[in-house]
Chains A and B, each alone.
Chain A
Amino acid sequence: MARIDLVDLAHSYGGNDAPRESFALKPVTMTWRQGGAYALLGPSGCGKTTLLNVISGIITPSRGKILFDGKDITLLSTQKRNIAQVFQFPVIYDTMTVGQNLAFPLKNRGVPKADIDRRVAEIGRLLDLEPYLNRKATRLTADAKQKISLGRGLVRNDVAAVLFDEPLTVIDPELKWQLRSKLKALHRELDLTMIYVTHDQTEALTFADTVVVMHDGRVVQSGTPAELFDKPAHTFVGYFIGSPGMNILPAEVRGREAKVGGHVIALNRSYDNLPAGAKIEIGVRPEFVEVVAPAPGLLTAKIERIDDLGRIRFARVRVGDAKLAARAPGSFTSADGSAGLKFDPSHVHVYADSLLVEGAA
């Protein structure tokens, strides 16, 4: 049980003297609350696994500190940190039974046999592994194996946090749901800090109460799923979360107006002091742009196709060189392939050099 603080933590596989831009993990300072369910979300190669391995102690960071409950554990070995980790591919000890697998971490720590048996029975029950305790672990299915990996972490009663490194990659889709609900249930029951690395936004958004989005070695935003959706702090978050992702358009912004290709879009807030020379863009989620019949005062777009997702339709449109997605109402049809775009001003965000700018009311 612990709060985890990262203080100015950074890591480079090329050593501390490597150029700053080449760092796999750029300096980050953040706090993981005790008992929180976190998801580390980002595309492959964004540094999320590096961050996870730094926390678990498999990698010693090039600089910065990690604190568990305020105690510096940066240089402590993996064994001495109270961390459990579940890997992408199930790691089980082939020659042992399920019960022996679960007992392994305790045996290594010299726990008395009676205590081991009690803990193994307890965890076996918790993870629904009871019927298999005396069976060879190699014979089980992938999801059962992942449960064993998890169980080896949970069996220790000193575990501060459980780290998951894309644990559902090898699991069948229908079992993914089951296992994920199991994880959520365990999280509620055991009050453990869980950090879950994934590149799948559905997994991240359903599992976590705080999602940490990483991009190119940086933590670009950390917040609840709703925050990430409504107010992406970085154009990457907007683009990465949501399907289809946020529309990003280069624009000229002055006061309460944004100019896109000579056309003016109204904004809800006023942006008077944007940094000079920065790349200014506006971002708006497809859900808040509507295609309607062309009319004066609306941005005109060419419709390329309309995707019907069942409960909602999205039109793929083109404005000049820019491609956008927009909501198409059920009644909408276009005879000549052209349409007008209606923006919801309260959901149009302004970005300067990819970072969200808060306007004045």
Chain B
Amino acid sequence: MDKTVNQKAWFLVLPVFLVVAFSAVLPLMTVVNYSMQDTFGNNQFFWNGVGWFKELLDPSTDLGGRFLASLGRNLFFSLAILAIEVPLGIVVALSMPREGWTVAACLVVLALPLLIPWNVVGTIWQIFGRPDIGLLGYVLNAMGFDYNYVSNDVDAWVTVIVMDVWHWTSLVALLCYAGLKSIPEAYYQAAQIDGASRWAVFKAIQLPKMNRVLLIAVLLRFMDSFMIYTEPFVVTGGGPGNSTTFVSIELVKIALGQFDLGKAAALSLVYNLIILIVCWIFYTVMTNAGVERKVQAESEPAVEPKPSAALKPVPALKPREGVA
């Protein structure tokens, strides 16, 4: 093939280069720059090398202690909401109607929480849970439970987790529902003829057909919950004490509260790196699953044309920019 060589074409990509440089590369390099320095304000900076990073990973220092504690809380939070949202989402998807006007009604109701902005969700639950004027808090206390998310660690955690479940289970349910809808009717009929119980149908047909959408659901929910900031910040402000202070909240405290730019920059880089690594692991797992299928298809030429695989592996997800 003959290609026309025209170097002027570079000018066409120039705007994109500029936009990316100013929106991503320069800010990121600024953060890298900050992470190597210390400042006492007045725009005076001192070289600190990898000092902040060393401190960050050393639990005996103040910075390291705070970072690792909030990281632990964050991981616990992510695992907790995954453990609730994934099974719950599957159950919701399974119990949704398969046809008729009720489908549309269910979809609308499920989509509603997803459409509410984060800080509005936070505000809703902040008020909802107040023991004096909130419906939930008031009722719980009236029923004899001593519920107060402002003063009790467990109550604060329960509130934050329930809020996330309320906000995001729909996403898992909708993804699973899409996976379920793609299963041809013949599978259920065959299972019926094979005498499969409800549980056997779930295990042999529905779960395997859903596993790819589930992987995506887990990835999305993990990333999002790992980066969570707004909702718990609005509800508990990270308290009581530091009990619901997640990494992003800690980061904002250091960067904007204490104006420790160096520490904050180091923290946000490590935070970003963790997210990238997890993303990469998920991405590799998903594309590998895809590759495995392709190899099968090539080694056996006469395979049926597959009804296009449920979902393509998502291109590497871009984490939200660090807060600093």
Give A contacts to B, CB under 8 Å.
Answer: 53, 56-58, 77-79, 83-85, 87-91, 93-96, 104-105, 108-109, 138-143, 145, 149, 152-153, 170, 172, 175
* B197 adjacent to A108 (CB under 8 Å): yes
B80 to chain A, nearest CB (A): 28
From known contacts A79-B195, A94-B208, A95-B208, infer whether A85 and B302 are also in contact, taking CB-CB under 8 Å.
no
CB closest chain-A residue, reference B205: A93
* B186 adjacent to A91 (CB under 8 Å): yes
Q: Given the complex, which residues of A lie within 8 Å of B186, measured CB to CB? A: 87-89, 91
Out of A77, A85, A141, A143, which one reaches B190, CB within 8 Å?
A85
A141 to B184, CA, bound (A): 19
A58 to B190, CA, bound (A): 10
A172 to B303, CA, bound (A): 10
Tell me if B323 is interfacial: C-beta within 8 Å of chain A.
no
B182-201 interface code vs A (CB 8 A; 1 in, 0 out):
00101101101111110010
A306 to B25, CA, bound (A): 75
* B300 adjacent to A141 (CB under 8 Å): yes
CB closest chain-A residue, reference B300: A141
CB closest chain-A residue, reference B304: A142
A89 to B187, CA, bound (A): 9
* B303 adjacent to A91 (CB under 8 Å): no
* A79 adjacent to B304 (CB under 8 Å): no
Q: Given the complex, which residues of A lie within 8 Å of B208, measured CB to CB? A: 93-95
CB closest chain-B residue, reference A90: B304
B188 to chain A, nearest CB (A): 9
A182 to chain B, nearest CB (A): 16
A78 to B194, CA, bound (A): 9
* A79 adjacent to B193 (CB under 8 Å): yes
A140 to B306, CA, bound (A): 12
Q: Given the complex, which residues of B lie within 8 Å of A105, measured CB to CB? A: 193-195
CB closest chain-B residue, reference A80: B195
* A108 adjacent to B304 (CB under 8 Å): no
* B200 adjacent to A108 (CB under 8 Å): yes
From known contacts A91-B187, A94-B208, A95-B208, infer whether A78 and B192 are also in contact, taking CB-CB under 8 Å.
yes
B210 to chain A, nearest CB (A): 11
B286-320 interface code vs A (CB 8 A; 1 in, 0 out):
00000000001000101111000000000000000
From known contacts A85-B189, A87-B190, A91-B190, infer whether A108 and B195 are also in contact, taking CB-CB under 8 Å.
yes
A90 to B120, CA, bound (A): 49
A-B CB proximity, top 4 nearest? A142-B304, A91-B190, A108-B195, A105-B194
B184, B192, B200, B300 pick with most chain A CB within 10 angstroms: B192
Additional 16 contacts, C-beta under 8 A, given A91-B184, A108-B194: A79-B193, A79-B195, A91-B187, A104-B194, A104-B196, A104-B200, A108-B195, A139-B300, A141-B300, A141-B304, A142-B302, A142-B304, A145-B304, A152-B190, A172-B302, A175-B302
CB closest chain-B residue, reference A84: B193
Tell me if B285 is interfacial: C-beta within 8 Å of chain A.
no
Tell me if B204 is interfacial: C-beta within 8 Å of chain A.
yes
Q: Given the complex, which residues of A lie within 8 Å of B130, measured CB to CB? A: none
Q: Given the complex, which residues of A lie within 8 Å of B205, measured CB to CB? A: 93
A78 to B192, CA, bound (A): 6
Out of B189, B204, B305, which one reaches A93, CB within 8 Å?
B204
A90 to B209, CA, bound (A): 15
A149 to B192, CA, bound (A): 13
CB closest chain-A residue, reference B299: A139
A313 to B189, CA, bound (A): 46
From known contacts A87-B189, A89-B186, A152-B194, infer whether A141 and B302 are also in contact, taking CB-CB under 8 Å.
yes
Out of B187, B192, B300, which one reaches A79, CB within 8 Å?
B192
Out of B184, B190, B195, which one reaches A109, CB within 8 Å?
B195
A108 to B200, CA, bound (A): 8
Using a CB-CB cutoff of 8 Å, which residues 195-249 of chain B contact chain A?
Answer: 195-197, 200, 204-205, 208-209
* A170 adjacent to B304 (CB under 8 Å): yes
A157 to chain B, nearest CB (A): 14
A18 to B303, CA, bound (A): 43
Task: Provide a sorted-by-A list of 30 A–B residue pairs whose CB atoms are within 8 angstroms.
Answer: A77-B192, A84-B193, A85-B190, A89-B184, A89-B186, A90-B304, A91-B184, A91-B186, A91-B190, A93-B204, A93-B208, A94-B209, A95-B204, A104-B204, A105-B194, A105-B195, A108-B196, A108-B197, A108-B200, A109-B195, A138-B296, A139-B300, A141-B300, A141-B303, A141-B304, A143-B302, A145-B304, A152-B194, A170-B304, A175-B302
A94 to B303, CA, bound (A): 14
A56 to B195, CA, bound (A): 13
A326 to B296, CA, bound (A): 51
CB closest chain-B residue, reference A88: B186
